[in-house]
Amino acid sequence: MLDRLTGLEVFAKVAASGSFSAAGRALGLSQTMVTKHIAALEAHLGVKLFHRSTRKLSITDAGRNYLESAERILADVEAADSAVAADRIEAKGLLRLSAPVAFGTRQIAPLLPEFAQRFPQVAVELGLNDRLVDLADEGWDLAIRVGSLADSSLIARRIAPCRTVLCASPAYLKAHGTPRTVASLAGHNCLGYTLSRLAGADHWAFGKRGDVSVNVAGNLRANNGDALLAAAVAGQGVIYQPTFVAADELRAGTLVAIPLDHPTFEFGGIYAVYPPDRHPAAKLRAFIDFIAARFAPEPPWDRDLG
């Protein structure tokens, strides 16, 4: 079956030029192929589009009526192509961004006013969710993901490291003592993040390779880092969280970092991920470049933490 859109282009060009051969030259097609396209359209429509003779080619009444619709369709397709091409070049339109709650609230949201000033034609929809969203099924253009990435077809760009910190409030440490070793955490109220494989509700991993682990327990577990942070600041227990969650409280002194006999484990990194596309939209490229520049060479939440 011949391509219908090409057939419309051929039909419109024949009508404009009054000649199969002239239409073929304009479109880079042989006269035989032009004839096939017109014949296929006529067979599909069940009408004659042109009167043909050895000396003259003229459009029929049915062809004239059809030409109006064909030209409108071709104009709409050209406009759509131009719009898509423009989106590749100029940052504009709606950018749907999914991010974890704590990171999105603390690190992404404060940057959005500046991004809006620099790219006034881009509107951002920020979706905050700690679950792993499906970008294609749920219509997200871009997602921020924290930790080691699972194998997938998504394109990923590392925008920042993900340092971690073990910490508790001064009041908790005064009441329960300060742990000095990884093993000693088994005797403390450890508040676990249920969505983490390495710092979850049941065991925490330490060491540069994450190969030193300890079983932990506590009277609170949650699927959100800010909830655990609030409990730790209130003196409820020890938390093991990314520094982007705890940095402000560490600077304020409401939480205190706890060094142990093994270093905390860096959780892979922080990534911007998006569906594969050889030519991603300009709005997507602009946003990733923007936040990557804000987080380099050292992310702001890690500066002056030591």
Q: What is the mean pLDDT of residues 54-76?
A: 84
Confidence of residue 277 (pLDDT cuts 50, 70, 90): confident
Residue with tokens 């982007």: 244
> 18-27: which pairs have CB atoms within 8 A and are 24 or more residues apart?
18/57, 18/58, 19/57, 20/57
DSSP character at residue 206: E
**Sign of torsion over alpha carbons 157, 159, 164, 168:** negative
* Architecture label for domain 93-162+268-302: 3-Layer(aba) Sandwich (3.40)
* pLDDT tens sequence across 76-89: 877 676 566 544 66
Q: Is the Cβ–Cβ distance between 105 and 112 less than 8 Å?
A: no
Query: What local confidence, expressed as pLDDT, does residue 280 receive?
Result: 80
Q: Is the pLDDT of residue 292 over 80?
A: yes
* pLDDT tens sequence across 3-47: 888 888 888 888 888 888 888 888 888 888 888 988 888 888 888
What share of the chain has pLDDT > 90, as a percent?
55
Question: Does domain 164-257 correspond to CATH entry 3.50.50.60?
Answer: no
The secondary structure of 33-95 as a DSSP string is: HHHHHHHHHHHHHTS--EEE-SS-EEE-HHHHHHHHHHHHHHHHHHHHHHHHHHHHHS--EEE
Query: What local confidence, expressed as pLDDT, does residue 279 receive?
Result: 65
Give the start-to-end residue ranges of the domains of the chain.
4-89, 93-162+268-302, 164-257
Amino acid identity, residue 293?
Answer: A
* pLDDT tens sequence across 100-131: 999 999 999 999 999 999 999 999 999 999 88
Domains 93-162+268-302 and 164-257 share a fold: yes
- Looking at domain 4-89, its CATH class is mainly alpha
